[in-house]
Structure 1
Amino acid sequence: MSVRNLEHLFAPRSVAVVGASNRPHSVGATVLHNLAGGGFMGKVYPVNPKHDSLCGQTAYPSIADLPEVPELAIICTPAATVPGIVAELGAAGTRAAIILSAGMGALLDGTSVSLKQAALDAARPYLLRLLGPNCVGLLVPGIGLNASFAHTGALPGHLAFVSQSGALVTGILDWAKSRGIGFSKFISLGDSADIDFGDVLDYLATDPNTSAILVYMEDLKHARKFMSAARAAARSKPTLILKSGRVPEGARAAASHTGALAGSDAVYDAAIRRAGMLRVLSTEDLFAAVETLSRARPLGGERLAILTNGGGPGVMATDALVCGGGTLAVLSPATLARLDAALPAAWSHANPVDIIGDAPVSRYVDAFQALLRDEGSDAILFVHAPTAIVSSAEIAEALAPLVRAASRNILACWLGGDTVAPARRIFSDAGIPTFDTPEQAVEAFLQIVHFRRNQDLLMQVPPSASGDPIPQRSAARTVIDAALAEGREMLSEPEAKQVLAAYGIPVVKTRIARTVEQAVLDAQQIGFPVAVKILSPDINHKSDVGGVILDLETPEAVGMAAQAMHRRLSALQPQARLQGFSVQQMARRPQASEVIIGMSTDPVFGPVILFGQGGIAVEVMDDHAVGLPPLNMVLARDMVSRTRVSKLLAGYRNSPPADVDAICRTLVQVAQLVIDMPEIAELDINPLLADGDGVVALDARLRLAPVEAGAHPLDRLAILPYPHELEDSVDWHGQQLVLRPVRPEDGVAHIAFFNALTADDIHYPLFVRVRELQPSQLSRFTQIDYDREMTFIATRPDLEGKPETLGMARVVADPDNLDGEFMLIVRSDLKALGLGEMLMSKLIAYCRMRGTAQISGNALSQNTAMIALARKLHFEVERMAKDQTVRLRLELAAPGRPTMGA
C-alpha cells in the first residue's frame, strides 16, 4: 500500500476523536483542545460514552452513534482497545486513522498476535490507513488541522516535516515557531505499522502545498519502497534528511574486510546520496539548508570566490571551505587586472579578495562587478565586518541590485550585531542567503554543492556500456552451486577467482595444490617468481597466520615456504583445517596502487558495494566509499572520487595515472555479479592492483549463504536492476529489432531519436512544443525506476553499428499500481508499419504481468492513428468535453493485485 486514501488523512472534512476526554493533561483532552484551537473548519466528533459534551462539542457514546462517517479518526484509547476500534471504523467507512496509543507490542489476549498486527489485520479489508501507533499525531496548518497532542501548534508554510521521533516533533515545533518557520504538513510516524516514509514521501512529492521535504530518520524497514519514493520526491523538490545513529557502538564480526567496513551509517549515507537527497547533521543545518537551497540558483561549478573587507574573516572562510572539501577559485588574469585597476595597491592580489578596511561603497561595487565577470569562479561569498568609514546598510543597498541580477549563487556574511542588522535585512529581502559567521556561510555553500552533486547523480546519463565483457553466468553458477552442494560457506581463493574471471575481472594465474610437492610442481609450470598462500576454510585473513609468502624464485623456496606455513598454522590455530596451498603468478607491477573492491549484505539495504584503499591495513586506513547496486560507470566513478586513494590513482611525481576506467568497470562487474548470484553474502578483492595498464585481482574471498525458500532472487535489492529477461528479438519487415527496456546508457541514442522526430511526433503525445531535450528530461526517460515505471524501446544497429532507437512505449504506475499512465512515440518515417502496435502489445503484457489494474492516457483528437491503434487493442475511448482530447483506458486486472514493487 502507498498513497491510497492518504487524502483522508491530510485533508479530512470531518474528524472523530475516539477516547476524547475532559481530564486535564490527558491525551484525549489535549487532542480535542488542539483541534478546537487550531482553526479546523471541518466537523469534530468527540467519542466517549461517559460524556454528553466535551470542549463545547456534542459527544457521542460510540462510533456507530456518529451522525456521519468521519473521514479521519484519532484513537486515544488504551492499546488493548485499538484493534476493535479499528475494525469498527473500517466497517463504518472511515479510511484514515491516527493511533496515538503506545504499548501495542503487547499480545492480543489469548493469542500470539501483537496488538499492532491485530490492528493492521482489522484495517486491511477496508483499506483503512493507519498513522502510528505510538506517534504524536499530525498537523496541517493550512487547513487548521492539529490532530496531535503536541504542546503547541505550527505556523502555515511550505515545508513538510516527517519524523520518527515524538520528542523531536515537539522540540522542532517549539524551535520553528519561535523563528517564524511554517509548515505545510508536520507528521509524526511513530512505529510506522502501516504508513511509513515511502508512503509519505510519495504523497508529498506531488503535494502542491509543499515546496521542500524535511525528514528525521532513526531506522528504516522497507528499503526498496523508500528508495523508489525518495528518488521520485528528490526529482521534484528539495528533500533533506537528518539521520541519527551515525556512530555504531561496535563493529560486527565479518568474514571479509568489506563486511567490517561497510557499517550501517555508511550504507544509509550511500542510499541518501543515491536517492538525490541531501543529508545534514543537525536540526539547525536542516532548516538552514532549506533556506539556502530554496534561494539557490543553478550551480555551474564548485569554485568559490570570497570578497571581504578584512583579511581575518577571509582566512576563516577559506579555512572552512578547504577543510570542508570545497574548492577555492583561482581568479583569471583578466579578473586580476580589473581588480588591480579598481583597488589600492595593498589589496590581497588573490582569492580571497581583501579590498582593505577603508573601502568606500564604490570600491565594493567595482570589486563585486569584477568577480561577477570572472570565468574562474562559480559562486561568490561576501564577508563584511563593520567599520566607521561607511555604513553597512549603504554597502548593502549598493550591492543588492547587482546580486539580484547575478546568474550565479551569492552568499553573504555580515559580521556583528545591531550595527549590521539593517544590512542583513536588506540582503535577506533581496533573496540573498545571509549568515552570521563565515563558517556558517561556507557550510551553506557546501550544502548547495553536495545537493547538486547528488542531483547530478540522479539525473546524469552514463556513457554506453556496449564494450563491456558479457558475463559467463553459467561458469560462475557452476562454481557456486558445487560449493553449496558440499555445504560450504566459503569458496577457496582459486574458486573465488574463477567466479570473478567469469565476469571479466582480470585475475592472476592461480592453481590449487593439495600437497607441498604439488605446490612445487605447479610453481614450475606457472613460472617463477610465484606467491604461495595457505588454503583453509577456517582462516579468514591469511596474513594473520603468516599464510602468504611472496616472490619465491626457486622450487626449493616454494617447498620450504609451504612447509613453514603448515607449521605456523598448526602452532597458531591447531583446530584449523589445511586443504592445501594456492600457487599464483607474481604480478610485477611496481607502480600499481593497492585498492579493495568488495561487497557485503546490509540488513536493511541488502547488497552494498565498497571501494577504497586496499592492503592488509585496510580497516586501519578507513578510506572507502560505499554504493548500492546496480552500478554504472557514472556511479562507479563517483564512488572512486570519494576516496583519498583516488588522488594516488590520478598520478603524482614519476608515478603515471592508473586506468580508472578499468577500476570502474570492475565495480560495475562486481555489482552485476552480486545481482546475478543472490547466494553471494560477502566478497573481497584485496588487493586489486591498479596502474596504467589496468587492474588485476591478486586475492579474493567470497562467502555464500543459501537463498531462503520462496524468496525471489531480487528481493534483497534496494534498487531493481535492468531486467534482461524482458528483452525480445523480433522480425520486423525483414529486419531484426530488439524490443527491450530502456537503459541509462541509451541517452545518446535517445537524443538522436528525439532529434529525428517531427514537431507533431512530440506534440501529439506530450501536448507541448519542445525544441530541445533538456538533461533533466532525458534522465527521466532513460534513468527509470524499474520498480514503478517501464519504457520499452525498439532498437536496431545503425550504419555504424551503434544502437538506434526507433520508437518507445512508456508507462508510469501510481504507487498503488492501480493506474499506469502510458505514452507511445514512433518516428514519423516509421509509422503505419506495425511498430507502435508491437511496442504497445509488449507494454500491455508487462502491465498485466505486474498486476496493474488499468492503463490510461490522453490523446489529442487529431491524433487519429493513436486512437485507431487504441481501439484495435480494445481500449475504451472517451471524448473529453472540455478540451480537444480523448481519454484512452484499458482495464487489465481487478484492484488489489500485487503492486509493481511486490
Structure 2
Amino acid sequence: MSTYRLKSVFEPASVAVVGSRSRPRSVGRAVIGNLLEAGFAGPIALVNLHPAQMEGVVCVRRLRDLPWTPDLVVIATPAETVPGIAAEAADKGAAAVAVLTAAMGQGPGSPAARLQTLAREKGLRVLGPNCLGVIAPHARLNASLAGRFPKAGDLALISQSGAISGGLVEWSMGRSVGFSAVVSLGDALDVDFADLLDYFATDHRTRAILLYVEAIRDARKFMSAARAAARTKPVVVVRSRHPASAVPATAAAIGTHTQQLARPDAVYDAAFRRAGLLRVRSLDELFAAAETLGRLRAFPGRRLAILTNGGGVGALSVDRLEALGGTLAALSDATRQQLDAMLPVGWSRTNPVDLLTDIDADRYAATIAALLDDPENDALLAVNVPTVLSSSLETAQAMTGMLKQRPAHAPRKPVFAVWLGNDAQATGVLNAAHIPNYPSESDAVAGFMHLVHHREAQAALMETPPSLPEDFVVDTAAARAIVDAALNAGQRRLDPIAVDRLLAAYGIPTAPVAAAADPDEAARLAAPLLAAGQPVAVKVLSADIEHKSDVDGVRLNLVSEQAVREAAGDILQRARSARPDARIDGVVVQPTLLRPKARELIAGIADDPVFGPVIVFGRGGTAVEVIDDTALALPPLDLRLAHELIARTRVSRILKAYRDVPAADERAVALVLVKLAQLAADIPEIQELDINPLLADRDGVVAVDARIVVGAGRRLHKGRGHPRFAIFPYPKQWERSIELSDGNTAFVRPVRPEDDALFREFFTHVTDEDLRLRFFQSVKHFSHEFIARLTQLDYARSIALVAIDPGSGDMLGAVRLHADANYDRGEYGILVRSDLKGHGLGWQLMRIMIEYAQWLGLNLIEGQVLRENRTMLAMCEQLGFRIQLDADDAMLMDVSLPVGPRPAA
C-alpha cells in the first residue's frame, strides 16, 4: 500500500473520534481536547453511544449519522468493537483510521486479524493499533494522547513506542525544535516504517527523519524505502540492543561460527549502515541528533575547532572527539597571528583555543569570527564557562550578533554551542538564533559527529565500486547440483568433499581434501603428499560434531605415514569417547599449509530471521567468538562494499605491511566476500557457510577449513526476486542478446554500480541536442553524483538496462524505469547513442522495459516528452502510448501506457 491515502493521516480535511465513553477523562474526550487545543481547522466529531454536547464538536451515536465524511477516524474503543467500527468508517468513505486500542490479540479470528483483513479489502489505511496517535503541527492536527502539542518544524518522528513519541514531544517544548509530524506505529498492522519513510522522503516540510525502531517485519520493504529516503535527507535511527518486541531467534541449533557471530543487533546495525541511516545508541543521542539536524545541514570535512574559556572542558572535548573518530583541526599561522594581536598573553596558541577565564564577550565573538575564517577547520565548537568576570548572556548575544552580521561571501561553517551553567536567558538567545546548543561538551561533539557520519554515509551511497576482474566466473550449475544432491539425500551439512567442490565452483581457493574411513586409508591418502615433502593434517569427519577442536579432533604437521595412521586412530578413539551419540564417518586428510606470515581470517554466510543472508568477516581461529573481531554486511556486495566491510574490523590493520611481514592481498580477501554474496544470491538453500580459517598473505587466500549448512529455509519476501534477500539483488535473469535492424547484435543487461566509466564514455557519443531532448536542459558537465544516480540502483524499485556492443564493450544506449512507492506507476527514460539512431535499438529497449514493468506488476508506464521530440513521440504512438498535452507546461507532452498481466521472466 505504501503512501496510498497517507495524506489523509497527516493532512485530513476532517476528523471523527470514536470513544466508548463521554466522561471527561476518557481517551476519546482527551483526543477531542487535543484537537481543539491544537486549533484544527476542519470539522471535528465525537462518536459515542452516550454523546455529550461539546462546543465546536459534532456529537453523534454512530459514524453513519455524521452529516459529512470524515477523512481520518480515531478509534479508542474495546478491542472486539474495533473491526466493526473500522468497517463502518470505510463504508462511510473514510480514508484512514488511527486505532489507539491495545491488546487486540494475534492470529486468525482475533480482532487484529479481522481489522487487517477488512483494511486490505476496503483500501482503508490503519495506523496502529496500540498507538499514541498522530501529530502534524503544520496542519494544526493533534489526534493523539500526547500531553503537549509541539511547534511546527522540519523533523519527522516515527516511533514504534508511544512513550518515546510523547517523550520527544515533551523534550522539544523547551527548545526551538519543531516537527513536521510525530507518529507512533504501535502494532503496525498496516502503516509501517517503510510507508512513512516513503511519505516523508517526498514531504517538502520534512528535512530530516527520526526513527525509534524495535523490530522490522518486512526487511526488503524497509530497506528499499530507507535507502530511497536516505538519498534525499538525513534519517537517524535508535534501537535498543534488546527490544521487547524483537523477532525471536530461530529455534534451530546454531552450528557455525559465522551464525554465532551474526547476533541480531549486529545485523540491524549492518542493515542501517547499508541503507545510509545514521544510528545512535540512546535517546540522549537521538535528542542530540534532533538538536543538530533541526538546525544545521551537512557539511564537508571532519576537522573541528574548539573554543573555550575553560581549559579543562576543552581537554574533555578533545578526548570525546578522538573517541568518536573525529579530527582536531589545526590553527593556521595567519589565524594564530590574528589571535595573538587580540587576545591576552597566555592564551593557548593551539586548538583547543583557550581564552582564559577573564575574556570579555566582544573578544569571544571576535575569536569565533577568526576561527570561522580559518581554512584549516570545517566546524566550530564554542564552549562558555560562567565566571564572575564574564556574562554568559552577553557572550551569547555577542556571538549571535556577530554571526548574523557576517558577510554573505564568508565561509558558512556550522557552530555548535555549550553554555554551561543553565542560564535560561543565554540559552534562549542561542535558540532564537537557531544555534544548536547542548548541556555538555560530550553531547556537542556527538552532534558534530552525527553530521559527519551522515555526510559520509551519503557519500558512500554515491561511491563507485572498482570493477570485478574479468576472470570472475562462477559455475552456478555445478554448485546447484551439489546442494540439490545433499538435499535429496536428506543432508543438512555438506561433507568436506562436497564443500571443497562447491567452493571451487565459485573460484575460492581451498586446501584439497580427501576422506578416509580408517587409519590405514588415511595413511595411503597421505603418502603422495608426504612423498612430495608436504606435511599432512588429519581431522575428524562427522556431520554431528560442529567444532572439531571440541573433541581434540585435529592434528597438524604430520610428516610420516605412521604418524598419520596413529593420529587418525587417536582422533577416532577420542571422538567416539567424547561423543558416543555422534556418527563418525572417519577422518579428512589434507596438506598442512605452511604459510608462516599468513593471517587467520573468518568469512562466511549467516542466516537472520528478519534480514535473511548476512555476510560475516573478521579475525579467525579457534577463539573467534572470544576475540569477537567481526563485521557484518547484507548482500549483495560489490568490491567497494567488501573493502568497507574489511575496514570495519581490527584485523584489517594487520592485513597491512608491518615489520618484516608483507601486506596481505586484501583485494583477494574482498573478492572472496563478493563471491560468497554471489553464492548466497544464486543458491538460497545455503543457510550457513563458515570458512575458518581463511589464510591471507601476499600470495592470496586459501580456505583451510569450511562448513556449509543447507536447507529449504523460510521464504521472507513475496513476489519477485530472491526469496530471502533484504536487498533486491542484481536481476541477472534480464540479461539477453538482441538483434538490430542492421543485422548486428547487442547484449542487454541491467546497469551495475561499477558502470560509471561506461556511462561517461557513452555520453561522449551523444550530441548536445539529444542530451537536451532527454534531460530537458543543456548538460555540459557529468558530475560523479549525476552518474552515480544513474548507476546506483535499488532494483526493488528501479531498473536501468544498457545495450552493449559484444565486440568492443561500448555502451550503445540505455532505458530506465522507476516505480513509485505504491508499485502502481513507473516513469521511464531512454537515450540511444546519436550515431545509432534508426537501427531499432530504442524500439527494442522500450519493448524490454515494458516487459519488465509487466513482470514487476505495475499498472501504468508514464513519461514526459518535449513536443519537439517527434521521434520519441512517434515511437510512443506505435507502442500504444496515450499522448496528450501536459496541463502545466505547453512545451511537454504526457505519454502513458497501461500495462497488461505479468509474463514469466
- TM-score normalized by the length of structure 2: 0.91
Partner of 1:726: 734
Partner of 2:895: 888
Q: Give the superposition deviation at 1:313.
A: 2.8
The 5-angstrom pairing of residues 553-564 of structure 1 reads 553-564=559-570
Partner of 2:479: 476
Measure, in 2, the Cα distance between the counterparts of 1:113 and 1:121: 10
* Partner SS for 1:521: helix
Q: Give the superposition deviation at 1:31.
A: 2.0
Q: Does the aligned pair in 1 maintain the 2:44–2:56 contact within 8 Å?
A: no
Q: Does the aligned pair in 2 maintain the 1:789–1:812 contact within 8 Å?
A: yes
Q: Give the superposition deviation at 1:386.
A: 5.6
Q: Deviations over 1:239-284 (max 9, x none)?
A: 1111123589999851011111111111111111111111112223
The 5-angstrom pairing of residues 480-629 of structure 1 reads 480-527=483-530, 528-629=534-635
Assess, with a 3 A threshold, how the Cα gap between structure 1 residues 643 and 402 changes in structure 2: closer, same or farther: farther
Assess, with a 3 A threshold, how the Cα gap between structure 1 residues 659 and 330 changes in structure 2: closer, same or farther: farther
Partner of 1:417: 421
Q: Deviations over 1:306-359 (max 9, x none)?
A: 455554333212211222233345678898899899989976676545566677
Partner of 1:741: 750
Q: Does the aligned pair in 2 maintain the 1:365–1:399 contact within 8 Å?
A: no
Measure, in 2, the Cα distance between the counterparts of 1:33 and 1:859: 51
Measure, in 2, the Cα distance between the counterparts of 1:856 and 1:454: 32
Partner of 2:771: 762
Amino acid corresponding to residue 726 of structure 1 in structure 2: W
Measure, in 2, the Cα distance between the counterparts of 1:740 and 1:338: 60
Q: Do structure 1's residue 64 and structure 2's residue 64 form an aligned pair?
A: yes
* Partner SS for 1:877: strand
Q: Does the aligned pair in 1 maintain the 2:572–2:587 contact within 8 Å?
A: no
Measure, in 1, the Cα distance between the counterparts of 2:829 and 2:669: 38
Measure, in 2, the Cα distance between the counterparts of 1:101 and 1:509: 62
Q: Deviations over 1:837-877 (max 9, x none)?
A: 11111100111122210101111111111111110111011
Q: Give the superposition deviation at 1:206.
A: 0.8
Measure, in 2, the Cα distance between the counterparts of 1:403 and 1:569: 79
Match of 2:788 among 776, 779, 783: 779
Partner of 2:814: 808
Q: Give the superposition deviation at 1:728.
A: 0.9
Q: Give the superposition deviation at 1:77.
A: 2.0
Measure, in 2, the Cα distance between the counterparts of 1:503 and 1:854: 40
Q: Deviations over 1:459-512 (max 9, x none)?
A: 222122243521111121122112111111111233223212211111112222
The 5-angstrom pairing of residues 240-389 of structure 1 reads 240-246=236-242, 253-296=253-296, 298-308=298-308, 310-329=310-329, 351-354=351-354, 369=370, 372-374=373-375, 377-385=377-385
Assess, with a 3 A threshold, how the Cα gap between structure 1 residues 589 and 480 changes in structure 2: closer, same or farther: same
Q: Do structure 1's residue 84 and structure 2's residue 47 form an aligned pair?
A: no
Q: Does the aligned pair in 2 maintain the 1:339–1:370 contact within 8 Å?
A: no
Q: Deviations over 1:742-793 (max 9, x none)?
A: 1111112122223443333232232233332333332221111111111111
Q: Does the aligned pair in 2 maintain the 1:765–1:823 contact within 8 Å?
A: yes
Assess, with a 3 A threshold, how the Cα gap between structure 1 residues 395 and 14 changes in structure 2: closer, same or farther: closer
* Partner SS for 2:874: helix
Q: Does the aligned pair in 2 maintain the 1:79–1:115 contact within 8 Å?
A: yes
Q: Deviations over 1:380-406 (max 9, x none)?
A: 444454667777455675577669866
Q: Deviations over 1:133-163 (max 9, x none)?
A: 1112111121222222333323222211111
Q: Does the aligned pair in 2 maintain the 1:600–1:608 contact within 8 Å?
A: yes
Partner of 2:840: 834
Measure, in 1, the Cα distance between the counterparts of 2:288 and 2:822: 34
Measure, in 2, the Cα distance between the counterparts of 1:864 and 1:92: 48
Which stretch shifts more, 728-737 or 497-506?
728-737
Partner of 1:877: 883
* Partner SS for 2:231: helix
Amino acid corresponding to residue 146 of structure 1 in structure 2: N
Amino acid corresponding to residue 103 of structure 1 in structure 2: A
Assess, with a 3 A threshold, how the Cα gap between structure 1 residues 359 and 171 changes in structure 2: closer, same or farther: closer
Assess, with a 3 A threshold, how the Cα gap between structure 1 residues 345 and 70 changes in structure 2: closer, same or farther: closer
* Partner SS for 2:646: helix
* Partner SS for 2:730: coil
Q: Do structure 1's residue 682 and structure 2's residue 678 form an aligned pair?
A: no
Amino acid corresponding to residue 35 of structure 1 in structure 2: L
* Partner SS for 1:59: strand
The 5-angstrom pairing of residues 42-191 of structure 1 reads 42-51=42-51, 53-54=53-54, 56-105=56-105, 112-191=108-187
Q: How many residues are treated as equivalent by the alignment?
A: 889
Partner of 1:654: 660
Assess, with a 3 A threshold, how the Cα gap between structure 1 residues 368 and 506 changes in structure 2: closer, same or farther: farther
Measure, in 1, the Cα distance between the counterparts of 2:700 and 2:289: 41
Q: CA RMSD in A?
A: 3.1
Measure, in 2, the Cα distance between the counterparts of 1:200 and 1:558: 64
Measure, in 1, the Cα distance between the counterparts of 2:385 and 2:33: 49
Which stretch shifts more, 310-319 or 187-196?
310-319
Partner of 1:694: 700
* Partner SS for 2:746: strand
Assess, with a 3 A threshold, how the Cα gap between structure 1 residues 369 and 694 changes in structure 2: closer, same or farther: farther
Which stretch shifts more, 772-781 or 715-724?
772-781
Measure, in 2, the Cα distance between the counterparts of 1:5 and 1:854: 19
Measure, in 1, the Cα distance between the counterparts of 2:882 and 2:559: 79
Q: Does the aligned pair in 1 maintain the 2:765–2:835 contact within 8 Å?
A: no
Measure, in 1, the Cα distance between the counterparts of 2:363 and 2:568: 80
Q: Do structure 1's residue 863 and structure 2's residue 859 form an aligned pair?
A: no
Q: Does the aligned pair in 2 maintain the 1:163–1:216 contact within 8 Å?
A: yes
Measure, in 2, the Cα distance between the counterparts of 1:121 and 1:251: 28
Q: Does the aligned pair in 2 maintain the 1:591–1:655 contact within 8 Å?
A: yes
Assess, with a 3 A threshold, how the Cα gap between structure 1 residues 161 and 171 changes in structure 2: closer, same or farther: same
The 5-angstrom pairing of residues 6-17 of structure 1 reads 6-17=6-17
Identity %: 44
Assess, with a 3 A threshold, how the Cα gap between structure 1 residues 735 and 374 changes in structure 2: closer, same or farther: same
Which stretch shifts more, 804-813 or 668-677?
804-813
Q: Give the superposition deviation at 1:36.
A: 2.5
Q: Deviations over 1:806-864 (max 9, x none)?
A: 22211111122211111112222222322211111110011112221010111111111
* Partner SS for 1:538: coil
Q: Does the aligned pair in 1 maintain the 2:83–2:114 contact within 8 Å?
A: yes
Q: Give the superposition deviation at 1:621.
A: 0.9
- TM-score normalized by the length of structure 1: 0.92
Q: Do structure 1's residue 790 and structure 2's residue 817 form an aligned pair?
A: no
Q: Deviations over 1:279-318 (max 9, x none)?
A: 1122232232133235545544334444555543332122
Amino acid corresponding to residue 111 of structure 2 in structure 1: L
Assess, with a 3 A threshold, how the Cα gap between structure 1 residues 691 and 307 changes in structure 2: closer, same or farther: farther
Which stretch shifts more, 393-402 or 686-695?
393-402
* Partner SS for 1:236: coil
* Partner SS for 2:117: helix
Q: Does the aligned pair in 1 maintain the 2:331–2:374 contact within 8 Å?
A: no
Assess, with a 3 A threshold, how the Cα gap between structure 1 residues 579 and 59 changes in structure 2: closer, same or farther: same
Assess, with a 3 A threshold, how the Cα gap between structure 1 residues 342 and 144 changes in structure 2: closer, same or farther: closer
